[in-house]
Amino acid sequence: MKNLNFLIVALVLLATASYAQKAEKITAKGGIHYITTSIDYPITGTYLFSGEAEPIVQLNPDGTGIFQLHDLSKTNIDWGMECFENGTPKYQKGFNYAVYSLWYKNREENDAEWTYAHFSIHFQKKKMFISGERSKDYSDPATEIAN
C-alpha cells in the first residue's frame, strides 16, 4: 500500500512539473523579476513598424531574437515576458486588450542590462504591439475552431 501511495504522489508531482511554466530569474534596475517565453497567445514572430521592412523586433520561441531601434543596426537579444516565480504571466486585462511587460537585453554584451518594453494584445483587432508602434497580426485558434 505504501508503494501505491508513493507511486501516486510521484505521478502527481511529475504531472505538475511537466505542466508548469518555465520561469527565469533576472535582475534589472528595478529589482528582481521573473520572465517566461510562453503566454497563452502566439507572441513569437516578427513585429514591424507600420508594415515596413525595418525596423523590426523578432521574438523566437527559444527566448532569443532581434531588436532594432530606428536608424540603428539590429541587436541580438534575449527576451521574456514578466511572470510570477511559478511561471504564470503577469498582465493587466482591459475590456478588449491585455498589457504585459516585455524584458530584453543585448545577447552580445556580458554586462548588458535588462530593458523594459510595453507589450499589448488587442483582441478585437487581432494585433499585438511592442512599444505601441511595432505590430503583428495573430489568429486565435479558439475562434478559428468555432467558425
- List pLDDT tens digits, range 58-79: 999 999 999 998 888 999 999 9
Strands (E), 37-96: 45-49, 56-59, 64-68, 74-83, 92-93
pTM of the entire structure?
A: 0.80
d(CA 22, CA 89) in angstroms, rounded, equals 10
Count of beta carbons in the 10 Å neighbourhood of residue 60: 14
User: Cell 520561469 belongs to which residue?
Assistant: 23
Asked whether 133 and 45 are in contact (CB, 8 A), the reply is no
- List pLDDT tens digits, range 41-58: 999 999 998 867 888 999
